[in-house]
Structure 1
Amino acid sequence: MNVQEKSVKAPVEVPYPMQSRQDLIVAAELEEELGTLRHDYGSVVPALMPFGEGKCWIAIGYEEVRQVMSDERFVVWKHRGNNYPRLRFNEGNRPPFRMAFDKMDGPEQIARRRVLAKHLSARRVMGMREETRNKIENFLDGFIAHGQGADMMKKFVEHVPLAVISDLLGVPADETDIFLEAALDHMNGRITSEEQANAHINKVNAYFDHLVARRHEEPGDDLISALLNDVGGTWDDEELGGVGFVLLTAGHDSTASIIGGILFWLAHDPERFAYLKHNREVLPRAIEEFLRVVPAGTGTRVRIATEDVEIGGVVVKKDDGIHPVVHPANFDETVFENPDELNFAREGETHLRFGFGSHACPGNQLARMEIREVLDAVLNRFATFEAVNPSENWRGEMLMRGPKELKVNWTLEGDEN
């Protein structure tokens, strides 16, 4: 594969001002800037974060992002409760957030992830496939009933991950409204004050405290009950509530953003839609390529160096923060040939959409299953599937954190004539 040689660049002296408010920024502009930084200055660049104090760096090269995510000298737990540099006002590292597996390192984190992985195994995920398929078909029925030009994000996409993750956690469908707005405000960066942040977090915490207490008395066939009864687990009730918070916020919003982004692409690219419809064997590889290209956000969790670490031609000093930013790493031209091209035949290194190392997303198999089932359903149901207002700059619009809306027209399979 012909990829560009990586060269050592002169260190950047002026920190790069990172953006926040992920729901508002146009990620295409940010990613272009980050790509320019990598090209001109290297893969690790000093950064000025909108919140927090202290020296910080951003890793934007593929190998450097992998190193930050897998090197035990970069930790996530050390900054809990401190004012370390970060993208969001409150990004999950300060109270009233509960201590959960995603905020741990070392043996403590590994032990909990091992138990969690057992209950999020490929076997369990495949056991959810039929019920997920039925839900998707029902949601599609509802979407089609709204008629041509309906918004697929509001009427279909956003319902699927919420229903799946709620089933997994044992959240009754009629209770999701209790906490959903608070969880989405947190994930989408719509928090503007400490009071608002704490109120939202406490609302979600209170719900999962109540759910865990119920599962003590009334265990079910859900993840919270399974973790409560797992003899290998070391979870206390607060941590179980934290598990619920993490999986809900990450499992719903991020997955919806990715699914929406993929459908947005296909609605603007009828040739790709037709190709996948008639070449279904390509779907597994196509999904991985979509995961590389379609953004799920520009945010990331800061890691703290526990000692001086040389990375990407610079030295990150002890107690410095460093943010591994996945999306530009997935477009690193030294790793991916023609990275801006969507190539279903691409081979070689895999994307970093679900992270890497001990903090990789534990629900990645669940997300992949949902994406596959949604695509199969849409490809089966529709003979044609096109955006209402296709535009020349749709690829730029794609690089937002999931489309805000996706209005489409379609022809149902069998109704072409």
Structure 2
Amino acid sequence: MSVQEKSAVAAVEVPYPMQSRQDLIVAAELEHDLGTLRQEYGPVVPALMPFGEGNAWIAIGYNEVRQVMSDERFVVWKHRGNNYPRLRFNEGNRPPFRMAFDKMDGPEQIARRRVLAKHLSARRVMGMREETRNKVENFLDRFIAQGQGSDLMSNFVEHVPLAVISDLLGVPAEETDIFLEAALDHMNGRITTEEQANAHITKVNAYFDHLVARRRKEPGDDLISALLNDVGGLWDDEELGGVGFVLLTAGHDSTASIIGGILFWLAHDPERFQYLKDNRDILPRAIEEFLRVVPAGTGTRVRIATEDVEIGGVLVKKDEGIHPVVHPANFDETIFENPDELNFAREGETHLRFGFGSHACPGNQLARMEIREVLDAVLDRFATIEAATPSENWRGDMLMRGPKQLPVTWTLEEDKS
């Protein structure tokens, strides 16, 4: 039976069996299934999560995903200590995970997000543009020096977000190697066992424990130092370590996946690459459309209903879990006309790539700035850039969570004659 036939069978069975893996085949099946489920069953579907106990649902319609993310009756805090239905074996504040703002609700979460928002404001992020562009240019120089056919992911994309988020957190450049392997393994899906995951998480936690202790004695011009000195004393050392882990994961992992996905698209679509070179004024709008189309994962953390809630034509009962799945919501045909089309002139509702509501990504402006600086540099430096081993099914390959490899060939602007 083909993948498509298996997907068609799976799509008519409920509860739908969600899978924790996100390799290419699973991603293709998942995207096919969820699109079919939304059309045939509706925007909220019963699901069987790979881990945990109890009933769960998946929200796959745009409006329903927004509701789950913004409705205060769906919370993350009830995860604490519960074997709730979920995609990952180990999540929440189960060891070795730390308690952090992303696992809170209500006033305690709002207070912490307000402080983070102050330090991740558009103004602060814009102040980082010049240094970010310098980093991008340096990494591009190193990439080009590798020669034609070099892998754009391992020699460029994976390094830019790590360098930027490390600067923000106050991690010295010479110390990023301590957790570089852990960060890259998480991003590239190399982790296959609970033991591997826990070992990497423990290593990153230990580093940030050390960094927090150091910044208490030797504060610097970085986010950890700023949070340590924040009036009100919101953050204890364990929380600060958790902040470091969350921002490292989101600021490196997700951002690198998105940048890789955008460059994967452009390396397979020379006409689109040239169009952006010739129409640089549309780049901000193009980035938003890429953010809608390019995946960065299957979705966000499962929420738990604190009371019975009607959503999308079904009743989610108290203490049941519901998982808002972002990527299919960004392709909801009732919201986006011709959703499978990459349309730089698209108007109307915005994507949900960075979430929505109180748990929306606090570093979304930082991610946008990094994407813009990378694209500006690539469009400036390269006259052409194309996949060295182009795939006939490259649009289907875009379903995966960022390419693991992207060997490319190119022509530099300076070499044109």
Q: State whether TM-score is above 0.5.
A: yes
1:232 is displaced (CA, Å) by 4.4
1:182 is displaced (CA, Å) by 2.9
Partner of 2:217: 217
Q: Secondary structure at the match of 1:310?
A: strand
Task: State the number of aligned residues.
Answer: 406
User: Partner letter of residue 40 of structure 1?
Assistant: E
Q: Which runs of 5+ in 1 are unaligned?
A: 1-11
1:92 is displaced (CA, Å) by 3.6
- Cα distance in 2 between the residues matched to 1:46 and 1:348: 29
Partner of 1:17: 17
Q: Secondary structure at the match of 1:414?
A: helix
Partner of 1:265: 265
TM-score, normalized by length of structure 2? 0.94
Contact persistence 2:267–2:386 (CA under 8 A):
yes
Contact persistence 2:24–2:397 (CA under 8 A):
no
Partner of 1:8: none
Partner of 1:244: 244
1:283 aligns with 2:283: yes
TM-score, normalized by length of structure 1? 0.94
Partner of 1:85: 85
Within a 5 Å distance, the mapping from 1:20-99 to structure 2 comes to: 20-23=20-23, 25-99=25-99
Partner of 2:316: 316
1:300 is displaced (CA, Å) by 2.5
Aligned pair in 2 of structure 1 residues 272, 233: CA closer, same or farther (>3 Å)? farther
- Cα distance in 2 between the residues matched to 1:345 and 1:193: 43
Partner of 1:339: 339
1:27 is displaced (CA, Å) by 1.5
Contact persistence 2:91–2:97 (CA under 8 A):
no
Q: Deviations over 1:370-413 (max 9, x none)?
A: 00000000000011111112232110111111011111111110
Partner of 2:198: 198
- Cα distance in 2 between the residues matched to 1:391 and 1:59: 32
Contact persistence 2:186–2:253 (CA under 8 A):
no
Q: Secondary structure at the match of 1:297?
A: coil
User: Partner letter of residue 279 of structure 1?
Assistant: N
1:197 is displaced (CA, Å) by 3.6
Partner of 1:126: 126
Q: Which runs of 5+ in 2 are unaligned?
A: 1-11
Contact persistence 2:79–2:92 (CA under 8 A):
no
1:81 is displaced (CA, Å) by 2.0
Q: Secondary structure at the match of 1:243?
A: helix
Contact persistence 1:16–1:46 (CA under 8 A):
yes
- Cα distance in 2 between the residues matched to 1:159 and 1:186: 14
Within a 5 Å distance, the mapping from 1:105-116 to structure 2 comes to: 105-116=105-116
Q: Deviations over 1:53-82 (max 9, x none)?
A: 110000000000000000000000101222
- Cα distance in 1 between the residues matched to 2:174 and 2:76: 35
Partner of 1:392: 392
Contact persistence 1:115–1:232 (CA under 8 A):
no
User: Partner letter of residue 240 of structure 2?
Assistant: L
User: Partner letter of residue 416 of structure 1?
Assistant: K
Contact persistence 1:386–1:408 (CA under 8 A):
yes
What CA RMSD, in Å, does the superposition of the two structures yield over aligned residues? 1.5
Q: Secondary structure at the match of 1:179?
A: helix
Q: Secondary structure at the match of 2:22?
A: coil
Contact persistence 1:23–1:188 (CA under 8 A):
no
User: Partner letter of residue 20 of structure 1?
Assistant: S
- Cα distance in 2 between the residues matched to 1:274 and 1:146: 24
- Cα distance in 2 between the residues matched to 1:378 and 1:194: 38
User: Partner letter of residue 385 of structure 2?
Assistant: F
Partner of 1:169: 169
| Percent of pairs with identical residues | 90
Contact persistence 1:13–1:46 (CA under 8 A):
no
Partner of 2:6: none
- Cα distance in 1 between the residues matched to 2:275 and 2:191: 41
Partner of 1:4: none
Q: Secondary structure at the match of 1:149?
A: coil
